[in-house]
Amino acid sequence: MATIPAGSGEHRSSTVLYDLMFGHVYASALRAVVDHGIPDLLGEGPRAVEELAERSGTRVGPLRRVLRLLSERGVFRESAGGVFGLTDVGEALRADVPGSHRAAVLWGTDEVFRRSAEGLGETLRTGRAGFEAAFGTGFFAYLAATPEKGRVFDAAMTSLAAQYGNDELIRECPFPGTGTVVDVAGGQGGLLRDVLLRHPGLDGVLFDRPGTVERHLLDVDELKGRWRVEGGDVFDGVPPGGDVYLLKNILHNWSDEDCLRILGSVRRAAAPGSRLLVIDAVLPEDGSPHPAVGMDTVMLMLFEGRERTATEFEGLLGRSGFRMSGAVPTTTLLSVVVAEAV
């Protein structure tokens, strides 16, 4: 095999390609150490690999090799004598830390993603979502039929929401001083909880699938008497009477046709003048790089959804009885698209 000179363009190209080729190896290694609780065992400080293996029920040799791989990716830190500790990245994998990424990692490395990604070749040929090709049904129908996956999904969405920075998003949302906020398909209510904590004059309604809202996060002392949950299907209708309706990370899951159905449900529930806040990634109009481009491919894998530009959001909203007034960027992946029912 020919030697590639260090630092050459050919070497750099090969490195990029090998990282892409073996990306699934890193994901599998990450899932393995999280499954075996290695980050939690390191929560109190570095430990020898022999102790980690004994306490996690794993074998010393394979564990050392996997930890070394992830150390090269900045998840762990290896010291002399086979002692491993957590980096800042690894700390986020512990189950007991605020803003833990553990649930998100378990979801992102689940077979749902792996098998959906394997179907991308068919997606390119037929347009059919990789998930549907792999599992023979739609994504949300699958979650409804497999409650254990639904629980993993809900926990991951709560974890990812924390990573997007609810505080930053809420600061950019034009909430009134008083009124009712309806969080449509709001998951376990992490965003709604933070909205109500920040705005004491507001009440809230959490609306999502019955099994999801049963696991809500709203039962905190500061919010007593200011919220209720309601289970249902967004395509059938949403709770009426809201002064503000929230749709966070919802429309990107769906085709334009389904987005119009969702927005139609919201518009039927909303009185003229009610505000709609769509919190989603907004892609640049000129095709310049954006961190949501990767998420756009995930949408291609799992659903018939997609990330959209501000112009595309404006078109959907206009066809649904809303007037869009702007899209406010934030320091997170997401923007706040502001509209009003007309």
Catalytic residues: 252
Quote the CA–CA distance of 213 and 251 in Å, as a whole number. Answer: 19
Helix ranges, the chain (H): 9-21, 23-35, 38-41, 49-56, 60-72, 88-91, 102-108, 111-118, 120-126, 130-135, 139-145, 147-164, 166-172, 190-198, 210-213, 256-269, 292-302, 310-319
> With contact defined as beta carbons under 8 Å apart, do 301 and 119 qualify?
yes
Return the exposure string of 108-128: e unless at least 16 CB atoms fall within 10 Å of the residue's CB, then b. bbbebbeebbebeeebeeeee
> DSSP per residue over 33-64, as a string?
HHHTTHHHHTTTS-EEHHHHHHHHT--HHHHH
User: Which among 54, 64, 58, 51 is positioned nearest to 36, based on CA atoms?
Assistant: 58
Quote the CA–CA distance of 334 and 263 in Å, as a whole number. Answer: 19
Among left, alpha and beta (phi > 0; psi -120 to 50; other), residue 187 is: left
> With contact defined as beta carbons under 8 Å apart, do 181 and 202 qualify?
yes
